[in-house]
Amino acid sequence: MRSINKTVKKLTIEESERPVTIQIYGRFIDSMVEAAKIVEEVQPDFIDINFGCPVKRVAAKGAGAGMLRDVPLMGEMAKQIVQAVKIPVTAKTRLGWDCENIIIDDVAERLQDVGISALAIHGRTRSQMYKGEADWEPIARVKQNPRIKIPIIGNGDIDSPQKVKEAFERYGVDGVMIGRAVRGNPWAARAGRELRYGHAGNGEARRPAASGHRLRMDRAVLSGTPFRFAGPGPVRPVHPRGVPVPRGLV
């Protein structure tokens, strides 16, 4: 990882971006611990472990959501990363590997017990990928678990300010993570915040970027190039924050 220029370039942080997290994923504990130490050197506000990526080339090799098939290994990896760095470590995962194995209740307790500071949960299993509707009931169940003390962040199908508000009020989560809906519409998060807290704007979503602008944004993210979009409202440069860990993963 130290010798991969494109990967290191992604670690650049501007003070105006804070708070910033850098997400890492992999299947080997030793290289994940090393990656966490490298990431810590650029001083993000916290490090996030990706235990939720469903993409075949990642999950099928045991990384990302693939960790849901080996929860003890997931817990040990999280534990060693937490112990190796001095900044908070969070994690993101899914409900389970498939619908016959919804294990998020156990996963949440294990990750909390080894020192994970917050947990983001996507309301689908790995086998579902992004099909069907996200199930937020298991996310709510984790949040209501009296043993769980860390913040629980819900994710899945949040594509409007109204759904942001519903996620807080109906499911009681501590935070909401917006994923695909931000592509081409990076101010969607602000609209949701306005509706949630009653700020000016009343949660009215701004018009999404035209397809040409979305394409330019996507290319910038994939290439690691800072990008500004002269659309309505201030938009900061887009900096990718997912850092793959090599050694047999790809």
Which residues are part of the catalytic machinery? Answer: 53
What ranges make up the beta strands (E) of 95-234?
119-122, 152-155, 175-177
In a 10 Å sphere around its CB, with 0-12 CB exposed, 13-18 middle and 19+ buried, how is residue 211 labelled? exposed
CA angle 147, 148, 151 (to 5 degrees): 165
Q: Which residues contact 198 (CB under 8 A, 6 or more apart)?
A: none
What Å distances lie between residue 43 and 3, 26, 28, 86, CA to CA? 19, 21, 23, 10
Element (H, E) at 93: strand 89-94
Short-list 65, 56, 60, CA closest to 25 = 65
**In this structure, how many other beta carbons lie within 10 angstroms of the beta carbon of residue 131?**
7
The string over 61-96, giving b where at least 16 C-beta atoms fall within 10 Å of a residue's C-beta and e elsewhere, is ebbbbbbbbebeebbebbbbbbebbeebbbbbbbbb
Q: φ, ψ for residue 161 (rounded to 5)?
A: -60, -35
Short-list 80, 79, 62, 72, CA closest to 25 = 62
